[in-house]
Amino acid sequence: MNYRAIRAIYLFEMARTWRTLLQSIVSPVVSTSLYFVVFGAAIGSRITEVEGVSYGTFIVPGLVMLSVLTQSISNASFGIYFPKFAGTIYEILSAPISYFEIVIGYVGAAATKSIILGLIILATAGLFVPLHIQHPVWMLTFLVLTAVTFSLFGFIIGIWADGFEKLQMIPMLVVTPLTFLGGSFYSVNMLPSGWRTLTLFNPVVYLISGFRWSFYEIADVSVGLSLGMTAGFLMACMVIVAWIFRTGYRLKN
């Protein structure tokens, strides 16, 4: 293993995070606070409780996941897209470094950033509503697993994208809707049965459900299923990344 190279990429990417601290950390925190004001205060006054938990408290795990998902994707996709765009990728490709090491560097940094962000949002939420986390270890497990999985997914998007529009397209058109419809702000059990069945095809449901369970022990689907689906998606992303590097897809001609 070329640990020095992994370290170099990781630190390089983290340096980018610190340099763009305002966009990276402050803006998601502000938008989360806005969600609290809008959803927590406006809707929360009408829906007082969901499955025994106050509405404001109920939406916390969903809000954290919403940010972790979107930030993981945008961090990782931008992290690898930009060197492609600027041409500096030549150096990565010509370095004595394996594909696996490249992925660890980029995806590790993107995931680190969104985990930090998730924790900051959690702390921000704590200012608005009382928080209690029943299973902190599982909470962290889901957080890390989700951050890594979606950073990998973002990495794939970053390699696939050949323009800034495409870079935005999947997060805007696919991920954000799936997250909103994935039970961030409501329990899937609140939906009519037809919609409920349809919702179960949404992978984000499993992430949010599992994550919420680690907080309040309430879940839309069983925790094992949540974990299994998340791990399955992680595996799928890994297979695609392996294929990309084996064939040089969009990286080498």
Partner 1 sequence: MSPIISVSNLSKSYGSGFKALNGVNLDIVKGEIFALLGPNGAGKTTLISIICGIANPSEGRISIGGHDIIRDYRAARSMIGLVPQELHTDAFESVWATVSFSRGLFGKPKNPDHIEKVLRDLSLWDKKDSKIITLSGGMKRRVMIAKALSHEPQILFLDEPTAGVDVELRKGMWEVVRKLQASGVTIILTTHYIEEAEEMADRIGVINKGEIILIEDKATLMQKLGKKELTLQLQNKLDAIPAALAAYNLELSEDGHAVTYDYDTKGDRTGITSLLNDLRNAGVRISDLDTRQSSLEDIFVSLVRAP
Indicate whether 7 belongs to the interface with partner 1 (CB under 8 A): yes
Q: Which amino acid is at 79?
A: G
CA distance 123 to 93: 40
Shortest Å, Cβ 245 to partner 1: 12
* Joined tokens for residue 82: 């930009």
State the minimum distance, in angstroms, from the CB of residue 91 to partner 1: 6
CA-to-CA distance for 59 and 185, rounded, in angstroms? 5
Q: How many Cα neighbours within 13 Å face the side chain of 9?
A: 29
Gap between the Cα atoms of 15 and 9, Å rounded:
10
Element holding 211 (H helix, E strand): helix 203-216
- Residue (86 or 137) nearer to partner 1, CB: 86
Total binding residues toward partner 1, as defined by CB under 8 A? 26
- Residue whose CB is less far from partner 1, 195 or 249: 249
Tell me if 76 sits within 8 A of 107, measured CB to CB. Answer: yes
> For partner 1, what does the binding mask look like between residues 75 and 114, x meaning CB under 8 A?
-----------xxx-xxxxxxxxx----------------
- Of the pair 195, 243, the CB lying nearest partner 1 is at 243
Contacts with partner 1, residue ranges (CB under 8 A) = 2, 4-5, 7-9, 11-12, 15-16, 19, 86-88, 90-98, 248, 252-253
